[in-house]
Chain A
Amino acid sequence: MAGRTSSSERIVLLVAAPTRSYAAALTAAGIVSRASSSGRAPDPETHFWNVIAPLDGDLPAPVKVLTDEGKIVETVLKEIEFDDRGGGGGRLRARIQWFKDQVRFVYWDRSLSLLPVRNADYEERKLLRRHSVEHHSEFVEALPWVESAAQYAFRSDAICDICGHASHLEPSFQDVAFALPTADGGTARGSIQDVVRVDRWTGKGEGHRARLVLPSASVEDDSFEQAQAVVFNGASPYLKLEQHWPSSDQVILLAHHERSAPQVADRLKRQLVQAQGRVDLISPEDVPRGVEMMALTEKKLND
């Protein structure tokens, strides 16, 4: 879907299939893969000036640090300063609180290992927490857009929201092994969760690429930020929460036997009348029998 629309349009795609099993996991994997592989990996300089330096006015600020040993430490950024030792005009560095009253420095060229944590109510003395992260994963590093598994697990990106019931979704994300070819001609095994990194099932302090939004969730407040795309796993989550993603691309996954499937289909058919147009994402001949698809483009509602 990425790349099909202009910045003022979005795509709404409905897929009705004989079963919904694995559909949300595979769809989210596609969305995250596409967005991750088409986006440029940040370079340390850009990251430092765009993400770390702007914290300067709010210091001290909570941050997390990825250590060389593959640990994630949640701590506090005390100051951004010049290290003028060694001449040459000095180097910019971040001074961060470390354990046992120590400080540690992260120089600008290593700034990718430093990320701000959005936590307005943090307490400095409670913040020094250390979590482990899977810093080496053959499977994740076999993904063409991933250079470092530790960095992939460290960073967060609001690429995809998945709206559905955790108990329905978790097995397809976590329990089924997939294989990827590795550079040395072998294969590496991992799960869809390794690729999609849904926040609910990541380790403490680790980054995510997708968020799970339960149909019972309250997403009324203005601070709710839409991801680039949302996947609705079933008619009921769509009917309950659809309005909270007015500008994200939407994928609605239905099983034919769902009670409310006709209601959703009718709604989309009405939406099509108002929409910019209908798009053929894939050729009708490639749609398996028993699968029905409809995609439309429309103006983002709160653009």
Chain B
Amino acid sequence: MTESLDSVTEIFNSTEEAEFAFQPVRDADVAEFSDAYRRFKRRLGDSREHRYWRRVLRALGYYRFEILASPLPFDSPVLEPDQRSKVLQKSLSRLSQLYPQQCDEAKHLVGRFEELIARSDAPLLSSITESLQEREVESAALVVSEPRLVDGVAEHISISPDTDGVTVLSPRELVDQPPFAEMYLVGRMSWFPPWIARAPRAGRVTLVSYAGVRASVSPGPLLDGEQQGRPIAPVQMGDDGDAARDEAGSGDDGDLDDLEIRPELDLEAIADRMRHETTSASDGRDSDEFVTAQPIELERDRVVFFESDDSTAWVIDLDEAEDNRVRSLAVEAVEPGLYILLRTEGGGDVLIPIADELLGDEAERLRRLQEEWKSALRDYVHDAGLRRTVRDLREAGCSVASRFNVRRWTSPSRHVIKTKSRRDFEALVDIIGLGDADEDYWKAMVAIRDMHLRAGQVIRERLLDAVTHADLNDLSGRGVVRFELAEADAGQLTAFRVRSVPDRTVRLPRGRLREVLRSSIV
């Protein structure tokens, strides 16, 4: 995007003149809760890695992070207090039997949490409002580091006349805005991208956070600083400045600040849940359908897994020109800041009708052949039992025979078409009595498979067409945007901004790959 010369001048002027201020907010309940959380976590030691405690700490940790990172009221539904409370109460019900030694302290911590969520005030927002009035600011930006919380904050402040003229934005949205006279950042400086301090888009930047949060951490220059103009360093402003500086990062027990307040992605918990759900649903599947999966953490509290090594993903790169922004990329090359396109609704359902449409007059005959071999195999399993069917298939030369695969082959799903290799398929149709016509069945299944692939391409082309014609600038702000296809019920793609690509893999059922999951509450 090319701004006007006047806008560019404004941008440089605001950077030139920018001053930083720190506005600490004191709240005894927040301090007590945060301190209790930190002490408890420290006291748990290695036990914090137990599944039970991970669940408890996740519920509390995310809430703690979000009240520090947003100016929302403590009981705001955006912070999901009720859901978290439910998780905690359920956990506490087993606490005295499981961990009697930690019982009192855990109950104390959850008690502080319950006290907070009973409050409907918003100290950070009150502090911002006071500052706006005191400084007679008519328009300002309120920047929230977590894109997931931006809409909730915007909705909340829209009901108050005290915040008229305040625009709630995520950091990335600032790029497309003319500079503001005033900008309020909520939370900790290190939660914001470094460029916000290197090239501020406001004449005055005020960091608003609870006293005790390490606020004054300034990112270094992009280069080495020897040839900088004047250094950019946040300054402490206001009566509480010195006190806040003393508190920030002191390492005393009164310090709110952990090394990283935002809880880390709990991949093991997510993988555990997926494995549990999958095996429960399938009544004990074979492990050979588990694959090594690369997680990708997405904006808006989401995570997705791709098969390691050979997967590709469709991505949008906003640093590219408009005609070159959408491309396919190896998953190993995906990096934070890119937007990844994922099918989030309806895509699977639309494939069969489109494939049948492409098969034309042949569709009926081919689908009948597909159903014939699946039905014959179902009959065989009914008579012989699952275990013996697997054994018979293996003896007949079907090397991929397993309980899971036999269940899959006998499922009514039209997406299950054939085995990968012809030899395995021949063995399969042979034992179910259709061996004489194995060539016909194989050719028919290959034709169906080809049309499924083609149908997938058609869907993708339509989706990409929708992406191309969408306003991609929407993406830049909230970290997520949905693309609807023109055809009704034809599927939905969602583009999520990649937040991180963890340096580890997990084992997952193949069927759960590319599924978008909530990452915080599992």
A165 touches B324 (CB 8 A): yes
Bound Cα distance from A262 to B12, whole angstroms: 21
B199 touches A17 (CB 8 A): yes
Residues of B within 8 A of A21 (CB): 1-3, 7-8
A292 touches B8 (CB 8 A): no
In chain A between 138 and 168, which residues have their CB closer than 8 angstroms to a CB of chain B? Answer: 165-168
Chain A min CB distance to B190 (Å): 15
Knowing A236-B320, A290-B12, A291-B229 are in contact, say whether A256-B198 is a contact too (CB < 8 A).
Answer: yes
A14, A216, A258: which contacts B324 (Cβ < 8 A)?
A216
Residues of B within 8 A of A269 (CB): 223-224
B8 touches A284 (CB 8 A): no
Chain A min CB distance to B349 (Å): 35
A19, A236, A260, A284: which contacts B228 (Cβ < 8 A)?
A284
Knowing A216-B324, A284-B228, A290-B16 are in contact, say whether A22-B5 is a contact too (CB < 8 A).
Answer: yes
Identity of the chain B residue whose Cβ is nearest the Cβ of A256 in the assembled complex? B195
| Number of chain B residues close to chain A: CB under 8 A | 42
Task: Please tell me if A257 contacts chain B, counting CB pairs below 8 Å.
Answer: yes
A167, A171, A289, A292: which contacts B323 (Cβ < 8 A)?
A167
Identity of the chain A residue whose Cβ is nearest the Cβ of B228 in the assembled complex? A292
In chain A between 214 and 237, which residues have their CB closer than 8 angstroms to a CB of chain B? Answer: 215-216, 234-236
A17, A260, A262, A289: which contacts B230 (Cβ < 8 A)?
A289
Task: Please tell me if B221 contacts chain A, counting CB pairs below 8 Å.
Answer: yes
Residues of A within 8 A of B201 (CB): 18
Knowing A293-B227, A294-B227 are in contact, say whether A166-B321 is a contact too (CB < 8 A).
Answer: yes
Bound Cα distance from A236 to B315, whole angstroms: 15
Task: Please tell me if B222 contacts chain A, counting CB pairs below 8 Å.
Answer: yes
Task: Please tell me if B477 contacts chain A, counting CB pairs below 8 Å.
Answer: no
B223 touches A265 (CB 8 A): yes
Residues of B within 8 A of A236 (CB): 317, 319-320
Identity of the chain B residue whose Cβ is nearest the Cβ of A268 in the assembled complex? B223
Residues of B within 8 A of A104 (CB): none
Residues of A within 8 A of B11 (CB): 18-19
B5 touches A176 (CB 8 A): yes
Task: Please tell me if A120 contacts chain B, counting CB pairs below 8 Å.
Answer: no
Residues of B within 8 A of A262 (CB): 222
Residues of B within 8 A of A294 (CB): 223-224, 227
Bound Cα distance from A236 to B338, whole angstroms: 12
Residues of A within 8 A of B200 (CB): 290
Task: Please tell me if B337 contacts chain A, counting CB pairs below 8 Å.
Answer: yes
In chain B between 295 and 325, which residues have their CB closer than 8 angstroms to a CB of chain A? Answer: 317-324
Do most interface residues of chain B lie in helix, strand or loop, or is the interface mixed?
Answer: loop
Chain B min CB distance to A120 (Å): 31
Chain A min CB distance to B319 (Å): 5
Chain A min CB distance to B19 (Å): 11
A289 touches B319 (CB 8 A): no
Residues of A within 8 A of B15 (CB): 18, 288-290
Bound Cα distance from A289 to B231, whole angstroms: 8
Task: Please tell me if B284 contacts chain A, counting CB pairs below 8 Å.
Answer: no
Knowing A18-B199, A293-B227, A294-B227 are in contact, say whether A288-B321 is a contact too (CB < 8 A).
Answer: no
Knowing A257-B175, A265-B222 are in contact, say whether A167-B229 is a contact too (CB < 8 A).
Answer: no
Bound Cα distance from A257 to B176, whole angstroms: 11
Chain B min CB distance to A189 (Å): 14
A14 touches B223 (CB 8 A): yes
Chain B min CB distance to A277 (Å): 13
Residues of A within 8 A of B256 (CB): none
Residues of A within 8 A of B111 (CB): none
In chain B between 183 and 198, which residues have their CB closer than 8 angstroms to a CB of chain A? Answer: 193-195, 198
Task: Please tell me if A33 contacts chain B, counting CB pairs below 8 Å.
Answer: no
Task: Please tell me if B480 contacts chain A, counting CB pairs below 8 Å.
Answer: no
A168 touches B223 (CB 8 A): no
Knowing A236-B317, A259-B319 are in contact, say whether A18-B12 is a contact too (CB < 8 A).
Answer: yes
Task: Please tell me if B125 contacts chain A, counting CB pairs below 8 Å.
Answer: no
Identity of the chain B residue whose Cβ is nearest the Cβ of A22 in the assembled complex? B8
Residues of B within 8 A of A17 (CB): 12, 199
Bound Cα distance from A292 to B319, whole angstroms: 20
Residues of B within 8 A of A285 (CB): 229
List 16 A–B pairs whose Cβ atoms lie within 8 Å, in order of A's numbering.
A18-B201, A21-B8, A167-B321, A168-B1, A168-B2, A176-B5, A235-B319, A256-B194, A257-B175, A260-B319, A261-B222, A280-B227, A288-B229, A289-B15, A289-B230, A289-B232
12 additional A-B residue pairs with CB within 8 Å, beyond A19-B11, A215-B321: A18-B199, A21-B8, A165-B320, A168-B2, A257-B199, A258-B319, A259-B335, A289-B15, A289-B229, A290-B198, A292-B198, A294-B227
Chain B residues within CB distance 8 Å of chain A: 1-3, 5, 7-8, 11-12, 15-16, 18, 172, 175, 193-195, 198-201, 221-224, 226-230, 232, 317-324, 335-338
